Chains A and B, each alone.
Chain A
Amino acid sequence: MITQLKNGRIYDPKHGKDGVIQDIYIRNGRIINKPGANEKISQTYDLTGKVVMAGAIDMHSHIGGGKVNIARMLLPEFQERKSYTEPEAHICTPGCTHNATPSTTEAGFRYIEMGYTAAFEPAMLPVNARQAHLEMGDTPMIDKGGYAMLGSDDYFLRMLAAKKDQKAINDYVAWTMNASQAIGIKVVNPGGISAFKFNQRKLDLDENHSYYHITPREILKSLSRAVYDLGIAKPLHVHCNNLGAAGNFETTLNTMGASEGLPMHLTHIQFHSYGTEGDKKFSSAAAQISEALNKNKHITADVGQILFGQTVTASGDSMVQYLNSKHGNPKKSVIMDIECDAGCGVVPFKYKDQNYVNALQWAIGLEIFLSAEDPWRIFLTTDHPNGAPFTSYPHLIRLLMDKSFRNETFAKLNLDAQGMSNLASLDREYSLYEIAIMTRAGAAKLIGLHDRGHLGVGGGADITVYTDQPDREAMFTKPDYVFKDGELVVKDGKVIKVTWGATHTAKPAFDIGVEKGLKDYFDKYHTIQLENFKISEDEISNDGRGSVIVHENKQASH
């Protein structure tokens, strides 16, 4: 059966197509060449005047795993927050549910209704990965995947402290990716989560962990090298030290050098771009960060924009979240030490437009977006739910594409914050093509999803069709059509067919000998067997809905 999407205006940055009028043909879930004259076209959608993009990909969104579920458990009151009527409502529309802790079902539905066809859980603790995959397996409509968290796990830290060679580290990293069914590696507050368990309250890039006597810089160097050597497409995903602290921009700038030129992705960089200027000793360092981002071609970043309203922050960074817990709103939080492997911290937050710090955080995020010269190296995220629920993406897109809307909003914020930001002087407006890069082509390239994020022949037919509207928020809130693997699943912004999506993974090769040391270690120190630490593909596909897609690695460099 062949489906034809006729006369659409195509935005497909991977193939350089910027608003080209072109037909797309789909068969068996794939985009195909124009069929021959004797081949029957079963269905045709006339997309004259419509904007056509690949399905969007959220490369960083906390959609599955223990801390998200803890957040749901902690905050039953969020489930009832279906409409938003509080003073900050002037910057949001009814399309935004503001449910920061949606159930798995709701998460899948809200994503697909916005034209997103994949989302990646960025902080999958290997020891909690089974639950993360169970939750993602219960997330309908979209594809998913996870980045396995390393860097505060005892096994890695003791290897590094013992100066094990890079090959041994690489084997362990590759083994972890296989065992946890991950597609990337993340490090959160390198070494800091572990240090907190030893009662260290702060860890700078070049400061020693009190027990292992190694620094975050060494951790970053080793892990970024491992990811590179193994040919994993997704660069090491880095949540820097000192998240949220005034003056942390220097840590962030220095972190860019820690991989010594190898690729690294700095996540939710907005939270790491703070200076100490001004009366309140909290200022924007977006200019310094943007300059460094533009200069350092080996670095990519997603923004982690904050938007005003009630949300919850869920992070693996127990060290920093412990400090943040005193700012919790409502005042409750969960901090956990986890399995000598990781940690987590869940703290509800309410970002207020009349609060100096919050208003400036909002401006800093936008300053970074607007100062990024290369849209292929910057990504649109709110670090869902930490900066705002992902349902606010259409609003964020409007802020980027519509200068007058942005400036009107800015003019309503805390006045002191306005005085500390150069946002109003930034004239840039993102184009549809650049939005398509940030949310589609760039994200697919970054993660290594070769058949997603574009509309070329052979690509998976994840396609979103919008009506071109001057109000970009309205446009991106409610696509006319969303196709998932070639099937029409959303019409006029509503789900018409329930599908389940696949789990994307990468399986770098490793020396099986790594399991010998690991088995001894598990038998001695852990509370589960090594065999049970590993998640089989069957566990993801056994329910008859899920499936695992394994992506090829880049040519290994050694």
Chain B
Amino acid sequence: MFNSCLKSQTLWQNDNQMKISDDKNQSIAFSCPACGLLCDDVALSSTSPISIKNGCAKSITFFEQAYSTNHENAGLPSISGKATDLNTAIKAAAEILRASKQPLFAGIGTEITGMRTIIRLAEKTGATLDHMHSEGAVRNTLALQNGGWQNTTLTEVKNRATLILAIGTDIVSSHPRFFEKLVWNTNSMFDKTSPEVIYLGVPTENTKAGISPEGKQPMVIPADTAKLPEIINALHALMNNKNPLNKKSASDFVGGVAISSLQIILEKLKAAPYAVVVWAAGNFKYAHAELTIQSITQLIAKFNETSRIAGLPLNAGDGDMSVNNTSTWLSGYPTRNRFTHGKAEYDAYHFSSTQQLNSCDALLWISTFNAHLPPSSDMPTIVIGHPNMQFDRVPDVFIPVGIPGIDHVGSMARMDNVVSLPLKKVRPSALLSLSQVIEQVIEQINDSPT
């Protein structure tokens, strides 16, 4: 019923399109964990027909997944594909981890409460930790650890930004309400005008969200993302009057982009009272993309010597910010870390899932927000996650758990690494939370004979 109701409606449901908060239909406000914006102006109606207020494409998919139980035995733990009770599954999981000398905890799609217990289990079992979206996150971390950055947060963007420069990302594929909430807002603290929008390295067909409600077109500079290192470096070069690039004709090209276009970008960045540069590290899919990010942050630093500008890295999702933050305060390190005899170690290269799948001897895959499947491997595999998972390759142990923000409470960090919000329980659920299951696994390991 829920499914059909959602699907029968348009994906974009705004206040003026539907009213669900009337007297007869109470709604539950909650924080939506479907993307890093962590919108908390979202509400779910509690009576039929169930619908979402302020839902976006991502949140609707997220809720459809959460509310669909379209295969047999959903919600039941299993061992080698055969349904079993929770205790037996927990014992089997504990046995695999107890026998393992070097387990890999991968996926780690969870929120802060879940991550707190994951860290405890990792300390106990000497596990390596890597998030499913770490390829992008690690590029940002490396850039941060190499040079730092000058960044901003969402409320600053909403109230202060006069220019948005999106590099290699359309923003809305990963953060659908970004423009609606933070760019085309009509109220701002300092009575600014709507920001000018520039896309660099984004195909024109993906830039519709950058057209203002009044119809003002964004500046679009398409380019191959693989050419971004060259293009960003050209921006640096053009800022230096003595650089030979300034002697070239404005109609010459660098990385497929006209020098005149790059000069316009620089002029606009310089003139903007508060420019915001947005990037999505996950989109920079080439070797040493962290250097591109560092080049962007250095550009920001250069402008900040005289005017104001700030960066805003987009996250990828599945609790990546929560996992990284919690790991950092508990172990001293962001992820791609490992515990050896209870002591944390950090290596952004060697502790990747890709590397560890060659050397670890057990895999614990965690994905509680979405039904993401584990990587294929021959080693003993435990999966704890979304009840809707359907496996191509059946894991040794599968324990379905509640979805954070739907089946149980929690806390989650927003994409800007500053704001964290409580997650609510919005429906009755028999499923345990990830942390409850992990607690039981820890207890079981403690009780097992060594």
Contacts and interface: CB of A to CB of B under 8 A. Distances in A.
A158 B190 CA distance: 10
Interface residues of A, number: 59
Nearest to A128: B418
B130 to A, nearest CB: 16
A333 B189 contact: no
Contact of B332 (A102, A196, A524, A525): A102
A16 interface: no
B145 A76 contact: yes
A337 interface: yes
Contacts of A552: none
B274 A197 contact: yes
Nearest to B306: A199
Nearest to A155: B189
Contacts of A328: 148
A198 B146 CA distance: 28
Nearest to A348: B148
Interface stretch (B45-53, B85-93, B210-218, B323-331): B323-331
Contact of B144 (A64, A73, A79): A73
A159 interface: no
Contacts of A332: 144-148
Contact of B346 (A68, A76, A339, A529): A76
Given A128-B418, A199-B307, A539-B411, A134 B112 contact: yes
A78 B333 CA distance: 10
Contacts of B31: 532
Interface residue range, chain B: 35 or more
Nearest to B413: A131
B332 A527 contact: no
A69 B324 CA distance: 10
A105 B328 CA distance: 11
Contacts of A79: 332-333, 344, 346
A199 B309 CA distance: 10
B312 to A, nearest CB: 10
Contacts of B154: 339, 527
Contacts of A128: 418-420
A541 to B, nearest CB: 13
Nearest to A104: B329
B329 A138 contact: yes
B40 A525 contact: no
Contacts of A524: 187
Interface in B241-257: none
Contact of B155 (A69, A105, A527): A527
Interface in B385-412: 409, 411
B261 to A, nearest CB: 26
B206 interface: no
Nearest to B274: A197
Contact of B181 (A78, A198, A199, A527): A527
Interface string A518-534: 00000011111101100
Given A134-B420, A532-B422, A339 B332 contact: no
B144 A69 contact: no
Nearest to B181: A527
B141 interface: yes
A340 interface: yes
A158 B159 CA distance: 14
B236 interface: no
Given A79-B333, A101-B332, A138 B151 contact: no
Contact of B145 (A74, A105, A127, A336): A74
A130 interface: yes
A131 B420 contact: yes
A336 B150 contact: yes
Given A74-B145, A79-B346, A334-B149, A103 B329 contact: yes
A328 B158 CA distance: 31
B304 interface: yes
CB-CB nearest 4 A-B residue pairs: A332-B148, A339-B155, A103-B332, A79-B332
Given A135-B329, A339-B418, 14 more contacts: A128-B420, A130-B422, A154-B189, A211-B190, A322-B150, A332-B144, A336-B153, A338-B153, A338-B156, A346-B148, A525-B188, A527-B181, A528-B419, A532-B421
21 contacts: A66-B418, A76-B145, A76-B332, A76-B334, A79-B332, A102-B332, A105-B330, A130-B419, A322-B150, A334-B149, A334-B151, A336-B153, A337-B153, A338-B156, A525-B189, A526-B155, A527-B181, A527-B182, A527-B419, A539-B422, A543-B113
